[in-house]
């Protein structure tokens, strides 16, 4: 006797994979797509039931995407391996969405920075420190995630930050990170870290144009602070 159910236990016309091949991915429900990603249920429970449990627990696909591996693993039938599969699938979609961002329009102001970083920061419950890598006309080459977690000098090191900029042949960079608390006001550590990165950029010949902190519906540009010089 098998220990688990899979999508093969469903009637052929109801199997998500066959329905996708026949009708296209857009014809599948969120439950069916999740079932395809998971592939296998657990003893006594179909993978479709497991998929529905995820939707019920987190409310929507976005809720699942925003959840941590630990939170996902709390659902019966979703261990660390399947939680990692889910996180990878959602992040792949995020990266595809973000791939369309680079273009011919230069980044001119903090509002443009926030828009460029929106996909990477949306719904994040931990601090994410990003570097927008720009060409000589301030056009986005790509966005690099430098660190995740509490922001301090031991995690965000100039070596790691500018390694990405050098690899991309960037002329300048703009840093952006989120405050999960929702308050974008810069801390003392934010200011000191920015000062270090600006100085490191000068030594490497890569301009640091700004550092933007994103909160809940608001942001702060550190370039506007009197005690910070970016030039």
Q: Which residue has the higher pLDDT, 77 or 219?
A: 219
Q: Which residue has the higher pLDDT, 138 or 124?
A: 138
Q: How far, rounded to the nearest angstrom, does the alpha carbon of residue 187 sit from its chain's CA centroid?
A: 23
Does residue 174 contact residue 212 with C-beta atoms inside 8 Å?
Answer: yes
CA dihedral 4, 9, 15, 18 (to 10 degrees): 100
Question: Per-domain residue ranges for the chain?
Answer: 7-98, 102-224
Other residues' Cβ atoms within 10 Å of the Cβ of residue 6: 15
**What are the C-alpha distances in Å from 91 to residues 9, 96, 101?**
29, 9, 16
Q: pLDDT of 7-30, one tens digit each? A: 566 677 778 888 888 888 878 888
Amino acid 171: pLDDT:
94
Correct CATH for 7-98 of 1.10.150.20, 3.30.2010.10, 1.10.3720.10, 3.40.50.1110: 1.10.150.20
Does residue 47 contact residue 35 with C-beta atoms inside 8 Å?
Answer: yes
pLDDT confidence tier of residue 92, bands split at 50, 70 and 90: confident
Amino acid 204: pLDDT:
92
- pLDDT > 80? residue 95: no
CATH 3.40.140.10 fits 102-224, yes or no: yes
Q: pLDDT of 33-61, one tens digit each? A: 898 888 877 777 788 888 999 999 999 88
């Amino acid at each position: 006797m098998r220990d688990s159910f899979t999508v093969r236990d469903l009637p052929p016309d109801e199997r998500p994979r066959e329905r996708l091949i026949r009708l296209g991915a857009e014809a599948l429900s969120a439950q069916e797509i999740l079932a395809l990603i998971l592939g296998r249920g657990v003893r006594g429970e179909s993978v479709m039931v497991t998929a529905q449990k995820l939707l019920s627990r987190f409310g929507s696909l976005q809720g699942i995407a925003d959840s941590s591996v630990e939170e996902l693993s709390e659902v019966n039938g979703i261990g660390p391996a399947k939680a990692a599969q889910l996180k990878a699938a959602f992040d792949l979609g995020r990266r595809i969405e973000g791939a369309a961002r680079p273009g011919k329009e230069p980044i001119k102001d903090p509002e443009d920075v926030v828009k460029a970083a929106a996909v990477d920061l949306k719904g994040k419950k931990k601090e994410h420190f990003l570097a927008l890598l720009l060409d000589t006309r301030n056009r986005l080459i790509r966005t690099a995630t430098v660190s995740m977690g509490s922001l301090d000098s031991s995690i965000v090191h100039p070596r790691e930050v500018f390694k990405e900029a050098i690899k991309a042949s960037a002329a300048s960079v703009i840093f952006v990170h989120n405050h999960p608390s929702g308050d974008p006001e810069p801390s003392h550590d934010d200011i000191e870290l920015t000062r270090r990165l600006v100085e490191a950029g000068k030594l490497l010949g890569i301009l640091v144009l700004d550092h933007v902190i994103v909160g809940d519906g608001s942001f702060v540009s550190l370039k506007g602070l009197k005690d910070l010089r970016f030039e």
